């Protein structure tokens, strides 16, 4: 590795960092050719800095953009975006070779939303992803408020303002229900922090709709088999994707729960799996044999050796834990390769519950697997059992005997 890197012509202020940077790339999972590409980009940047009598401490955001502009003008066609320099900048920041980025004071609206985020995660115990969802939905509401001394006019809020916002800005039944929940929470936060004199949560109009009105959209067993068969289990990607899909369809985990699994969460001796559910609750689930075998195959001949303790990793360097969006991408990709309509990760959770119901499992057991806090959350699956519904259905008045 060092022989390859040493063949790159280095000069200028970044030269002393060459082998340290290459070693860091290797540590996080980069292969030989990408490492050499990164070092060549580093060499070009170092020469550019030297030609302008600049040092590493002058490597500001503005300097990086100027370098990339010069690289485009010179006719380069690769490594032209700020993302290309991010591995080098992260390394230099990590060893304190770069001065800290100047802190930009958040806007008044951003400061309010950040305080609300802290309230959700610390006081209410919500996960970061759930808090982000709330922030996303109330951000628009804050943006509609006028300014008083440069800050959003939240102290002047009235019940009429809240109702008018819901009527004029919220479209769609599903969006409205989520907005109602988020906006009520935000208005209660403003009251708790003394921004408004009384809680305006009750001013948010309710949205009609029963939580049991819908029908779980489960996949047919044949479709699941086609998705699993689409994974090339002779490849690293295929073994990982097969393990993720098997876990989703057999255990009904949420995408975030799969992404949050660590190596230590799999207890091979007892055959258990520790899952971090909603509200950061730790719960144990039995590890079925086929799920365990799919994980073991990925660990033996798929998972890269790196410092991350996450069970499922990105295949491309840097090797970090798979994100919830990455789990969704695996499901979507498998459905497309299987020739099916686009499938989301949560639909496999419905599929796991429906399969248990069709196999004769009572709703109480399904609720335990899905880790529902309320039996009402599980009750919706009763509508999937059509045979049982026929037994309790009453004859249509005036119909045939």
Annotated catalytic sites, by residue?
254, 278, 346, 349, 372, 381
Residue 340 vs residues 60, 230, 320, 337: alpha-carbon distances, Å: 48, 11, 30, 8
Long-range contacts made by residues 32-40, C-beta under 8 angstroms, separation at least 24?
Answer: 32/1, 32/4, 34/317, 35/1, 35/4, 35/5, 36/4, 36/5, 36/8, 37/78, 37/79, 38/87, 38/88, 39/5, 39/8, 39/10, 40/8
Residue 35 vs residues 7, 178, 267: alpha-carbon distances, Å: 12, 45, 36
Contact of 285 with 375, CB cutoff 8 Å: no
CA 29 – CA 400 distance, rounded (Å): 71
Contact of 327 with 345, CB cutoff 8 Å: yes
CA 327 – CA 325 distance, rounded (Å): 5
CA 325 – CA 129 distance, rounded (Å): 11
Instruction: Provide the phi-psi class of 288: left if phi over 0, else alpha when psi is between -120 and 50, else beta.
Output: beta
CA 92 – CA 97 distance, rounded (Å): 5
Contact of 203 with 179, CB cutoff 8 Å: no
**235-248: b (≥16 Cβ within 10 Å) or e:** eeebbbbbbbbbbb
Q: Is 124 helix (H, G, I), strand (E, B) or coil?
A: coil
Q: And the tokens for 28?
A: 């996080």
For residue 252, is the peptide bond before it cis, meaning its omega torsion is within 30 degrees of 0?
no
Q: Is 104 helix (H, G, I), strand (E, B) or coil?
A: coil
Q: Which of 273, 288, 283 is nearest to 371 (CA)?
A: 283
CA 119 – CA 125 distance, rounded (Å): 9
Q: And the tokens for 341?
A: 């309509």
Residue 181 host element (H or E): helix 173-192
């Amino acid at each position: 590795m060092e022989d390859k890197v040493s063949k790159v012509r280095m000069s200028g202020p970044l030269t002393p960092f060459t082998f340290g940077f290459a070693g860091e790339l290797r540590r996080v999972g980069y292969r030989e050719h990408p490492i050499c590409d990164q070092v060549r980009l580093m060499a070009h940047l170092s020469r550019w800095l030297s030609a302008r009598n600049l040092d590493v401490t002058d490597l500001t955001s503005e300097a990086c953009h100027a370098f990339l502009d010069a690289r485009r003008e010179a006719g380069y066609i690769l490594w032209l975006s700020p993302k290309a320099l991010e591995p080098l900048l992260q390394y230099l920041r990590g060893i304190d070779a770069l001065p800290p980025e100047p802190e930009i004071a958040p806007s008044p609206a951003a400061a309010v939303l950040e305080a609300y985020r802290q309230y959700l995660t610390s006081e209410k115990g919500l996960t970061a992803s759930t808090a982000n969802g709330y922030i996303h939905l109330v951000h628009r509401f804050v943006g509609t408020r006028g300014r008083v001394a440069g800050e959003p006019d939240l102290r002047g809020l009235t019940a009429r303002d809240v109702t008018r916002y819901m009527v004029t800005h919220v479209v769609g039944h599903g969006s409205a229900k989520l907005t109602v929940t988020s906006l009520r929470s935000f208005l209660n936060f403003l009251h708790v922090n003394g921004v408004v004199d009384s809680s305006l949560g009750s001013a948010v109009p309710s949205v009609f709709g029963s939580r049991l009105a819908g029908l779980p959209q489960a996949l047919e067993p044949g479709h699941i088999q086609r998705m699993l068969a689409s994974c090339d289990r002779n490849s690293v990607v295929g073994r990982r994707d097969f393990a993720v899909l098997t876990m989703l369809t057999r255990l009904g985990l949420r995408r975030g729960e799969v992404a949050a699994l660590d190596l230590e969460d799999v207890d091979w001796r007892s055959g258990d799996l520790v899952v971090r559910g909603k509200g950061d609750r730790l719960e144990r689930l039995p590890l079925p044999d086929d799920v365990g075998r799919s994980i073991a195959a990925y660990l033996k001949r798929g998972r890269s050796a790196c410092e991350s303790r996450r069970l499922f990793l990105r295949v491309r360097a840097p090797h970090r834990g798979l994100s919830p969006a990455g789990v969704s991408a695996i499901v979507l990709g498998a459905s497309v390769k299987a020739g099916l309509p686009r499938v989301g990760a949560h639909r496999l959770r419905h599929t796991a519950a429906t399969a248990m119901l069709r196999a004769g499992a009572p709703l109480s057991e399904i609720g335990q697997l899905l880790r529902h806090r309320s039996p009402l959350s599980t009750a919706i699956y009763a509508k999937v059992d059509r045979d049982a519904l026929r037994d309790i259905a009453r004859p249509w008045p005036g119909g045939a005997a």
